[in-house]
Amino acid sequence: MDIFEKQQRIESINGIIKVRWFIAVIIIGLGFLLKIKYFGWTSGFSGSSVSAYIKLGVFGAVAFGYNFIFWLFVRWLARKPIEKISDRVLNIMSVLQIIPDQLMFTFVYYNTGTVDSMSFVFYFISVFLVSSLYRSRGIILTGALAGFLYTGLLIIEYQGLIPHFNTYQGVTLFGSDYVIRGKIVTFICYIGVMTFVSAFLSNLIRNREKKLREKSDQLSGQTQKLTVQTQELTQTKNYLHEALTKSDKARGELERTKADLEKANLELRAKLDEVEKYGEVTTGRELKMIELKDKIRTLEQRITELEKDKN
């Protein structure tokens, strides 16, 4: 059982316990009322009215008693974390929601007059309740158990192994072959119908739930995948953002360096231009110097001539 199934099991058992309080009250109330003179309910829960009331009371106390124990136990279970509740405990608790009730129903059916009584209908309550706990197999087993208990009791009583109590004053169906045969065949057919209906509805509902759960699981998986994807994307985004910031910063710096370099370039060019212009000036002077040297040579010649003349 997975956690979800366990949760459903516990929820169902809790519900059945609640329903049982109510059913026990109704059945005992009905017994008390039918025992009054107006209904002529003679020897059902045999003996005088007082002893019958005491028997009914004891019977009710047993039902309340075991239901109280179930209630305490489930309350104790519900306090535990769900993973720690073992499947076996839940399976035992589930079976206990069916078998004690069926034994009690058999007991009531016997004491209220078997073939005379309508109370065979109680077995169907079990079949109804079991559809909230089990699938087809559990429901079919519940039906089989009900059929066995009902048939067993009728046959034992008919064979005279246990006495019969009349339900109504003056009239009884007990003792007729036809009644026994008819009742058993009919009951088994009814239990068959009820089992079928119960299993059908239980499966209908469980399939619906299964579909919903599958859809939920699928969505859950998708959500998880998307969450991981979103996280990864957020990381990538942050990484890219950081890289972009760094790149932008580096570009800014480069931009500045470029501007500096361009400025330096311009300055250098200006200086070079200047220097080259100066160079041109000096080239002019070079020519002048050659001229000067020529002149000096002429002057030297003149001086030499003049000195010759003087001498």
Partner 1 sequence: MDIIEKQQRIEAINGIIKIRWFITIIIVGLGFALKAKYFGSWGIGWGTSFISAYLKIGLLGTFVFGYNFIFWLIMRRLSRKDLGKINTKTLNIMSIMQIIPDQLIFTVVYYFQGTVDTMNFMFYFLSFFFAGSIYKTRGIILTGAISGFLYSAVTIIEAQGIIPHFNTYQGVTFFGSVYVTRGRIFSFICYIGIITFVAAFVSNLIKNREKRLRQQRDQLSGQTQLLTVQTQELIQTKDYLHEALTKSDKARGELEKTKADLENANLELKAKLDEVEKYGEVTTGRELKMIELKEKMKSMEERIKELEEQINKQ
Enumerate residues 244-273 that contact partner 1 by CB under 8 A.
244, 247-248, 250-251, 254-255, 257-258, 261-262, 264-265, 268-269, 271-272
Which range, of 58-66, 101-109, 137-145, 176-184, touches partner 1 by CB under 8 A? 176-184
Which range, of 51-59, 71-79, 153-161, 166-174, touches partner 1 by CB under 8 A? 166-174
Q: How far is the CB of 309 from partner 1 (least distance, A)?
A: 6
Whether the CB-CB separation of 27 and 104 falls below 8 Å is answered with no
Q: Which residue has the tokens 């034992």?
A: 156
Alpha helices in the chain (DSSP H): 3-34, 49-79, 87-96, 99-111, 122-130, 136-158, 177-310
Q: Pick between residue 32 and residue 53 the one whose CB is nearest to partner 1.
A: 32
Which range, of 45-53, 57-65, 85-93, 111-119, touches partner 1 by CB under 8 A? 111-119
Whether the CB-CB separation of 198 and 130 falls below 8 Å is answered with yes
**What is the CB neighbour count within 10 angstroms for residue 256?**
10
Tokens of residue 205, six digits: 């509902």
Full DSSP string of 154-204: HHHHHTTSS----SBTTB--TT-HHHHHHHHHHHHHHHHHHHHHHHHHHHH
Q: How far is the CB of 96 from partner 1 (least distance, A)?
A: 18
Q: How far is the CB of 165 from partner 1 (least distance, A)?
A: 14
286 touching partner 1, by CB under 8 A: yes
Options 9, 105, 116, 158; binder of partner 1; rule CB under 8 A? 116
Number of residues that bind partner 1 (CB under 8 A): 118
By three-state DSSP, how is residue 116 classified? helix
CA 219 vs CA 1, 2, 81: distances in Å: 21, 18, 26
Q: Considering only residues 24-63, where is the footprint of partner 1 by CB under 8 A?
A: 26-27, 29-30, 33-34, 38-41
Options 58, 161, 275, 287; binder of partner 1; rule CB under 8 A? 275
By three-state DSSP, how is residue 41 classified? strand
277 touching partner 1, by CB under 8 A: no
Options 97, 111, 132, 142; binder of partner 1; rule CB under 8 A? 132
287 touching partner 1, by CB under 8 A: no
196 touching partner 1, by CB under 8 A: yes
